[in-house]
Amino acid sequence: MNHIQLEQLPRIHREAIESAGYRVLRWENAREVLQARVSKGRITGALGDFLARWLPTTKAAANELEWKLTFDVISEGIRISDGSMALVESPIEHALLHLPALRSFWSSELRQQHFTALKAIVSAAWIMDEAPVPSGAVIHGLGITAWDQLERVHGHEWDRRDHILTARAPAGLIINARYERNGQGQVVLSSVEAMP
């Protein structure tokens, strides 16, 4: 691995990497709120039933003093591809972050700016639920009405694991970033390394 300076990266990548550690912790905290609401039955109806079926029970790592995130630098920007937090490693958590029915929840719990930034760096994923898509509706982001139409979506290679669909990212520069909490409890980027 090569130690690189943040200044060597384009500004938009640099800013995304610098703030990603903080934003992922906010995501983790919001995810705990979502889990509590579902377990207490505060989310009802079709969304509540869906979440009761698909929402995994996670254990937060928000008290960790140090963690890492791995990013793929691709033509569209950067994407988190791995990390030392269970939330980042789980495709179902990516799908829940991008789920249109949870958009208002994430916007209020994370604040819109952080939600938008997280969606940009967390790869889209879909939960391949067997429930039929309502008449006249499409699967958000794919433009299809059923999972058997997936071959119609061009320009992507797909990974399927445990009913979760993710778009496979093209290979690019890999950046490992390490974050820690400083003496005031703030999240700071402590090091960045690149792998060609």
Residue at 151 is within a domain: no
| pLDDT band (50, 70, 90) for residue 4 | low
Give me the phi and psi of 6, to 5 degrees please.
-55, -30
The per-residue pLDDT for range 102-125, each reduced to its tens digit, is 999 999 999 999 999 999 999 889
Residue at 113 is within a domain: yes
Residue at 149 is within a domain: no
Q: Provide the whole-model pTM.
A: 0.88
User: What's the domain count of the chain?
Assistant: 1
Residue at 118 is within a domain: yes
Q: What is the pLDDT of residue 56?
A: 86
List the one residue out of 137, 162, 187 whose CA is nearest residue 54: 162
Does pLDDT of 140 surpass 80? yes
Range of the domain at 115: 2-57+68-129+163-174+182-195
E-assigned strands of the chain? 2-3, 66-74, 77-83, 125-127, 158-161, 164-167, 173-181, 187-195
Residue at 152 is within a domain: no
